[in-house]
Amino acid sequence: MTPTPRPRRLRFFAAVALASLVCLCTAGCGAADLADIDPAAIPEQPTYDGDVRPMMAYYCVGCHAPKTQLGPNLSGYDYSSYSGVIAGFSGIEETVFVAGNMPPGGARKLTLYEQAVLARWQENGFQQ
């Protein structure tokens, strides 16, 4: 029995299909960033009380506050107060905007929308 070229061609098509899937994913899934958020969808003047405090309470304060189960002001950050969030904003930039490693582990991360709100809050000078 002579070998038919079919299996090889199939493998080729499978490789092409896989490659285009990977391309689609890096373009479509991986490239999502703050720039993809419609600026008009973000509050014009986010405030600490209205926008930021609830976010910090949900995502960060459980571990980074003067009194937490993991210890006081974990790593020196206190996200439970207005002045604490401003003082620790560089930590938010590092861990949330760039590294995406806070909150740690499999915990739900801030959405891009929430990150965009935080970024605009900073741009506008941390309105209380």
Give yes or no for residue 121 binding ligand HEC (CB under 6 A).
no
Q: Can you tell me which of 59, 114, 116, 120 binds ligand HEC, judged by CB under 6 A?
A: 59
Q: Can you tell me which of 92, 116, 117, 118 binds ligand HEC, judged by CB under 6 A?
A: 92
Tokens of 98: 């760039």
Give yes or no for residue 64 binding ligand HEC (CB under 6 A).
yes
Cβ closer to ligand HEC: 47 or 68?
Answer: 68
Dihedral-angle region of residue 109 (phi above 0 means left; psi in -120 to 50 means alpha; beta otherwise): beta
Other beta carbons within 10 Å of 113: 13
Give yes or no for residue 71 binding ligand HEC (CB under 6 A).
no
Give yes or no for residue 103 binding ligand HEC (CB under 6 A).
yes
**Alpha carbons 99 and 101: distance in angstroms, whole number:** 5
Give yes or no for residue 119 binding ligand HEC (CB under 6 A).
no
The phi and psi torsions of 94 (rounded to 5 degrees) equal -65, -50
Other beta carbons within 10 Å of 100: 10
Give yes or no for residue 50 binding ligand HEC (CB under 6 A).
no
**Alpha carbons 59 and 107: distance in angstroms, whole number:** 9
Other beta carbons within 10 Å of 94: 13
Q: Can you tell me which of 102, 116, 117, 119 binds ligand HEC, judged by CB under 6 A?
A: 102
- The residues binding ligand HEC (CB under 6 A) are 59-60, 62-64, 74-75, 77, 79, 91-92, 94-96, 102-104
